[in-house]
Amino acid sequence: MASSLLVRVASCMVVVWMFSFGHIIPLAEAEIPCGRVQITVAPCIGYLRGPGGGVPAPCCNGVKSINNQAKTTPDRQGVCRCLKSTVLSLAGLNLATLSALPSKCGINLPYKITPTIDCNTVKY
């Protein structure tokens, strides 16, 4: 049960990260594996299910790490797809908190992170 929660948390974080990159590409083409994205952003799941407030440092560190690694449009699209699928698979996420996460971690994105984002429109 604990490993299932970890996978869901990691998946959620992946979706958040994907939204921050904005492009969708087949995961096989992405330079950053979805599983790695999910594990890196997993510390954000509890925060995204809560009422908001201050973002835990491990969450922001993960989001910043993925943002720094995704240097190309295909990378960002892959991250977006991964995060989107993860967010859609996790129940109880505060979508307003999810949308605000990048800016709260000091990342300026030219688009809003939502479960309905078209990752194909996100550019590096």
Give 27-53 as a 3 state SS string. HHHCCCCHHHHHHHHHHHHHHHHCCCC
Q: What average pLDDT does the segment 1-16 reach?
A: 47
- Structural domain 2-121, CATH architecture: Orthogonal Bundle (1.10)
Q: What is the pLDDT of residue 42?
A: 95
Percent of the chain topping pLDDT 70: 76
Domain positions in the chain are: 2-121
Classified as helix, coil or strand, 64 is helix
pLDDT in tens, 28-39: 444 799 999 999
Residue 86: what pLDDT?
92
The pTM of the full predicted model, rounded to 2 decimals, is 0.73
Helices (H), the chain: 2-21, 34-41, 45-49, 57-69, 73-89, 95-104
* Residue type for position 17: W
What's the pLDDT tens digit per position in 47-87? 999 987 899 999 999 999 999 999 899 999 999 999 999 99
pLDDT at 102: 93
Report the pLDDT value the prediction gives residue 43, as an integer from 0 to 100: 96
CA distance 25 to 102: 21
Query: Average pLDDT of the chain?
Result: 80
Rounded Cα distance between 20 and 114, Å, is 10
For residue 6, what pLDDT is reported? 44
